[in-house]
Amino acid sequence: MIEFAANQHQHHISVPDFSFDRTTDVRRLHRMLSAYAETPLVHLGQGIYVKDESKRFGIKAFKGLGGIYAMFRIICQVLNLNPAETTFDTLLESPYHDHIRQMEFVTTTDGNHGKGVSWAAGILGCKSHVYMPKGTVEVRAQAIRDVGNAEVTITEMRYDDCVAWTRELAKEKGWHLIQDTSWPGYEEVPLWIMQGYTTLFYEAISQMKAKPTHIFLQAGVGAMAGAIAAAALETYPAHPPIIATVEPKEVACFFESFERADGLPHPATGSCQTIMAGLNCAVPCTLAWDILSGCAVGGLACDDEVTCHGIRLLHKAGITAGESGAVTAGLVDALLCNPTYKEMKHQLRLTDDAVILLINTEGDTDPENYQRIIAEADHDETGAD
């Protein structure tokens, strides 16, 4: 099942903080990393391109792009260093490294953001504390520990309650909060995280043979979706691509906000029960909402079978995609192939000559569930319904 809520307040916006020129320092930083390499762009046919972030930095997700850039900026701010000139070699020298080793970072995560923070802490030699919501499988927590330097705790709180608790814990302990969502008064660090994500977009458009006409973007809190949308607007200001958010039906804060049509962000009201753990976030990031409420054509909400279908489709194409990574592939296949969604396809202006950019945001972050899904026979040859 797929539902669509049109954005009644769509209008032209410009977000220069995400332009190619403004994000030069982001790419400079990423290219300093020995693990850096452009991730593949896979052409699935029918004008569909998938940016495969399961190959990013060896951590199976794009989140390291934002985590390392934000941590770098926080460190530069604390040590009074110019981020446009500072290198990793500088930070690993005395007296800077002595200070960095004493710094502690904290975050809440559904999985991949915490993995990026842990990985960045391991590179920079500092400490991190990562808290995860109830229902998180232990394999996701262990993956965070394995990639870097993090103390990881699975809590009994829902994601958004955990974010609020972590925020207070940072104040109490004097730790540096590095959260990938924003609220009034906490916007600088989320902006750096979001700017970090733009590297994948600028890689993708340099790899594509044509300008994308459509970009479908997974939205948990919306940080990645907002960043990519903003970069697309800055790249193609005269004729921007059609942009839509994609969420699980049971935790769809952007979809529900578009559906209420009052121009304001609203928390999701669903059960928050979905296999798309990385998208299980009920409250929109304010920075992301400011962008997407202007430029997105609307939001799509999908049930779990849509992403299961996407996982199997991408597996057949040689792409390993986790539950949050594959939902847009399952969605687009349904829109293009299932006559049930003919009207929705028309609303999204998906024509035969469309050039569609998707992002596989993660690999098999829950390997056991991944193997179970790909072993199941696809229930519908014409697309998930």
The residues annotated as belonging to the active site are 63, 110
C-alpha 301/C-alpha 297 separation (Å) is 14
Q: Which helix (H) or strand (E) segment is 3 a member of?
A: strand 2-6
Using an 8 Å Cβ cutoff, are 126 and 100 in contact? yes
Cα distance between residue 356 and residue 47, in whole Å: 6
Contacts of 323 (CB under 8 A, 6+ apart): 275, 276, 277, 278, 304, 307, 308, 311, 365, 366, 369, 370, 373
Handedness of CA 124, 126, 127, 133 (dihedral sign): negative
| Pairing state between β 151-154 and 127-132 | parallel
Question: Residue 306 CB: number of other CB atoms within 10 A?
Answer: 28
Strand ranges of the sheet holding 356-360, from the earlier edge strand across to the other edge: 2-6, 298-302, 242-248, 214-218, 356-360, 48-52, 41-45
Instruction: Please tell me the distance from the alpha carbon of residue 59 to that of residue 116, in angstroms, as a whole number.
Output: 8
Token representation of residue 82: 């110019």
Q: CB under 8 Å to 103, separation ≥6 — which residues?
A: 75, 78, 126, 127, 176
What are the backbone dihedrals phi and psi of residue 242, each rounded to the nearest 5 degrees, phi first?
A: -75, 125
Rounded CA separation 303/34 (Å):
39
CA distance 8 to 14: 18
Please, which residues have CB within 8 angstroms of residue 157's CB and are 6 or more apart in sequence?
A: 133, 134, 165
DSSP of 239-301: SPPEEEEEEETTS-HHHHHHHHTSSS-----S----S-GGG---S--HHHHHHHHHH-SEEEE
DSSP state of 339: G
